[in-house]
Structure 1
Amino acid sequence: MECYRSDVVSPAGSHRVPGGRAAARRAARRGRATGRTDPVRRLLPQALVVAALAGGTSAFVAQDKAVRLSVDGDRRTLHTYADDVGELLRDENVPVGAHDIVAPAPGERLASGTEVAVRYGRPVTLTLDGERRRVWTTAHTVDGALRQLGVRAEGAYLSASRSAAITRRGLLLHVRTERTVTFLADGHAHTIRTNAATVGEALAAAGLTLRGQDTTSVPQDSFPRDGQTVTVMRITGGEEAREEPVPFTTVRRADPTLPKGTEIVARAGEPGTLRTTYRVRAVNGVRQRPRKIRSEIVKAPVPRIVRVGTMTPPPTAAGGPADGLNWRAMARCESGGRPDAVDGSGRYGGLYQLDQGTWHALGGHGRPQDAPPAEQTYRAKKLYQQRGTSPWPTCGRKLHQ
């Protein structure tokens, strides 16, 4: 602890001797020690010391001040020789910092009757309406700190009671002031005053419930601001599947058993099916654009297979007597000119009503009614060269018309 600083006045009364009472006492002892060796020289310093002490006593009395010191509300009256407020606080071992309040200011001079007040600052970690900051207050309670910080606390949520004390170590304080929030739901506006921490809590306070896929225009865990308008979106919907055909491909295969220029469909193609699933929904009754979720082939397409003839016709099939005959007339007689015609028994088919055994003997494949017209005529000419018109006892004469 620092000693009080006092000034001692010299015998003439015109100068101050630094050091106060302690210095005067040391000077007196030095005088007595000198006097032991020289009586004459001893008497003069003693007289001077007596005079100095007498004058110093008057100065001490004149500089003694009665002041009142209040430290955080703890008041006491004391006597001091300090010249100003700062010296008083140092003498009394009262430290002050940048966030403390001293009145009068430390540089103000002291006079008897002066009242000095020290109020220590207290750190408060304040989260106000979702925003966190560190502030300082000299208030001793939460209520005093709120008033000092200008925080409107009517209807507010406080994490600590208003009467709770704030120590010099500080306090964590959450404050949510009362705010006006409007919810637009089901065609109506619902306006409430709330100190809720989230939009979801405010929604519940307004008596509104979300069902199924319902949601709000802002995140439900966000902080509701004063004057904010939130739309409740009623959502209905689910999944919807749509199917569309997948075209089949055509596979062309060379067939040396068929004459060149001849094509036969060995297998008909079949389209596949593509199923696409969409998420569909309506918001407050308004249908939204579907959103594609997935696509899958539920039925694979079947390729069409076409046999393409690569065989060169033998010399007997061209340039012979069969070429000059009226094959069109006989075809009209046998089948009405229809390449796919089949008789009532199901045994004979094609333009020239050939049975399957004869067709195969002539080099054909499958059924005659499935072969192209050109191939059917080609096989019929071969049969005519082998047997004449006997295979067609009724219509054979048409060849010569």
Structure 2
Amino acid sequence: MGATVNSSQASHRAARGGGRHSAGSAPSKEPDTGGERRRRRSGPAAGGEALRKLLPQALVLAVLAGGASAFVAHDKVVELSVDGETTSLRTFASSVSELLEDEDVEVGPRDLVAPGAHESLSDGDRVAVRYGRPMNLTVDGRDQRMWTTERTVEGALRQLGVRAEGAHLSTSRSKRIGLDGLRLAVRTERSVSFLADGKVHRLRTNAPTVRGALAGAGLRLRDRDTVSVPLRSFPRDGQEISVQRVRADKRVTEEMLPFAVERRRTSELHRGTEVVEQQGRQGVRRVTYELRTVDGKAQKPRRLGSEVVREPRRQIVRVGTRPKPASVATVRGSGGLNWAALARCESGGRANAVDPSGTYGGLYQFDLRTWQSVGGAGRPQDASAQEQTLRAQKLYAQRGASPWPVCGRKLHQ
């Protein structure tokens, strides 16, 4: 448009200059006496002729003067600002859109033009064009794509309505935004509350994680402390977070493992007779427990693991299957022995005798286990003398006189 304007103005100036030139130059300084004489001799007739010659020229000058007035009326001076660069222009454009078209300024739907493109244009007007810029904006972890006509980060935040007081920005507020746009992350200032150690700790923070907000509140986590939300999560405005103080100790206990009992049937023993061939033994298992306290309150012990430090040993019991003898005399190997002498030595011959410890009882001072191993029922001191003698003879048939290390010799007296 600038070139067009200048060409028009040049043509208009040439027309105006040509008119002046064709109407004649200023009179020469040298006297033209012949002409003087012709104008004087002619008198009135000569004056009329001169008027007829001047009339067409006057009409031409009048037309040119009207065109020049129209030219001046449409010519105007305006300021055009394109993305901050301002130029003063002379233009014949009647509207903003014509001005932009004449100046080859292309605008899109995301660009800002003020006044509007269809507004009329007057002398002295100022037209501003701001290009739209894309922004990949992340606010508190949420991504969005937006457009702005501002040229700085601070201006864009203000235009987009992003609350940036106390916020953390990934770039400087004064950074200029190019036409290709900008990627910007904003962490706004938020109010967060921590419940820890029986107190409420409140703070305003722009930390990116709960862990960072904890540090800002001056709260330190120990090894086993727990937090109600993940430490890497983003702290939200108004969020309440609990911190539990956890203490843990270990306790080791030993548990007894029962032994199994294996019963082996044998015809070597009379029916009802049981002999412990291998004594059973309980095993030992070492168990480790964790004792936890949460905010000072004891929790249920938690089992961490166990280790068997001694395996249980099974007990082997021989169970007789041979029919019982009809009388004492039928017990093999027991005939001809002095059972009365043995009874006197062991118990004074008293069938209900019990030693001071309460462990041994009866004529032959059986302990309960031995009594039961030879088929006895109940306590030996409660059985009849005949029953006690029969069980003593069975014991002798199995082990000889060894169960009575002191009095056993009396059997042979």
Task: Give the Cα separation in 1 of the matches to 2:311 and 2:110.
Answer: 81
Q: Offset of 1:196 from its aligned partner?
A: 2.2
For residue 192 of structure 1, the aligned residue among 203, 222, 228 is: 203
Task: Give the Cα separation in 2 of the matches to 1:320 and 1:286.
Answer: 70
Tell me the equivalent position of 1:377.
Answer: 393
Tell me the equivalent position of 2:60.
Answer: none
For residue 111 of structure 2, the aligned residue among 100, 106, 110 is: 100
Matched, 1:282 2:298: no
Identity %: 48
Task: Give the Cα separation in 2 of the matches to 1:268 and 1:393.
Answer: 28
Task: Give the Cα separation in 2 of the matches to 1:202 and 1:259.
Answer: 84
Task: Give the Cα separation in 1 of the matches to 2:111 and 2:326.
Answer: 124
Q: 1:188 to 1:318 in 2, by over 3 A?
A: closer
| Structure 1 residue ranges without an equivalent (≥5) | 5-20, 22-53, 342-349, 354-366, 383-391
Q: How do residues 255-334 of structure 1 correspond to structure 2 at under 5 angstroms? A: 255-312=266-323, 317-318=325-326, 330=340, 332-333=343-344
| Structure 2 residue ranges without an equivalent (≥5) | 5-10, 12-63, 355-361, 377-389, 399-407
Task: Give the Cα separation in 2 of the matches to 1:191 and 1:379.
Answer: 85
Matched, 1:152 2:168: no
SS state at 1:165 partner: coil
Task: Give the Cα separation in 2 of the matches to 1:284 and 1:252.
Answer: 55
Task: Give the Cα separation in 2 of the matches to 1:95 and 1:229.
Answer: 52
SS state at 2:155 partner: helix
* One-letter identity of the residue aligned with 1:304: Q
Q: Offset of 1:251 from its aligned partner?
A: 0.6
Tell me the equivalent position of 1:127.
Answer: 138
Instruction: Tell me the alpha carbon deviations over residues 294-337 of structure 1, each in whole angstroms, 9 at most, x when there is no partner.
Output: 23323222111111223457xxx5479659x9x9x847546448
Matched, 1:244 2:255: yes
* One-letter identity of the residue aligned with 1:294: G
- The structure number with the bigger radius of gyration is 2
Tell me the equivalent position of 1:42.
Answer: none
Task: Give the Cα separation in 2 of the matches to 1:174 and 1:186.
Answer: 34
Q: 1:319 to 1:269 in 2, by over 3 A?
A: closer
Task: Give the Cα separation in 1 of the matches to 2:245 and 2:69.
Answer: 89
Instruction: Tell me the alpha carbon deviations over residues 204-244 of structure 1, each in whole angstroms, 9 at most, x when there is no partner.
Output: 22333223323433333222233333333222113333332
Tell me the equivalent position of 1:386.
Answer: none
Tell me the equivalent position of 1:212.
Answer: 223
Task: Give the Cα separation in 2 of the matches to 1:134 and 1:71.
Answer: 24
* One-letter identity of the residue aligned with 1:297: V
For residue 162 of structure 1, the aligned residue among 173, 179, 189 is: 173
**Are the aligned partners of 2:227 and 2:241 in contact in 1 as well (CA < 8 Å)?**
yes
* One-letter identity of the residue aligned with 2:180: R
SS state at 2:213 partner: helix
**Are the aligned partners of 2:374 and 2:394 in contact in 1 as well (CA < 8 Å)?**
no
SS state at 2:251 partner: strand
Tell me the equivalent position of 1:229.
Answer: 240
Q: Offset of 1:381 from its aligned partner?
A: 9.1
Task: Give the Cα separation in 2 of the matches to 1:141 and 1:259.
Answer: 109
* One-letter identity of the residue aligned with 1:73: G
* One-letter identity of the residue aligned with 1:155: G
Q: Offset of 1:394 from its aligned partner?
A: 7.2
For residue 141 of structure 1, the aligned residue among 127, 142, 152 is: 152
Q: Offset of 1:67 from its aligned partner?
A: 4.1
Query: TM-score normalised to the size of structure 2?
Result: 0.61
Deviates further, 62-71 or 267-276? 62-71
SS state at 2:159 partner: helix
For residue 180 of structure 1, the aligned residue among 174, 181, 191 is: 191
Tell me how large the CA RMSD over aligned residues is: 4.4
* One-letter identity of the residue aligned with 2:186: V
**Are the aligned partners of 1:235 and 1:281 in contact in 2 as well (CA < 8 Å)?**
yes
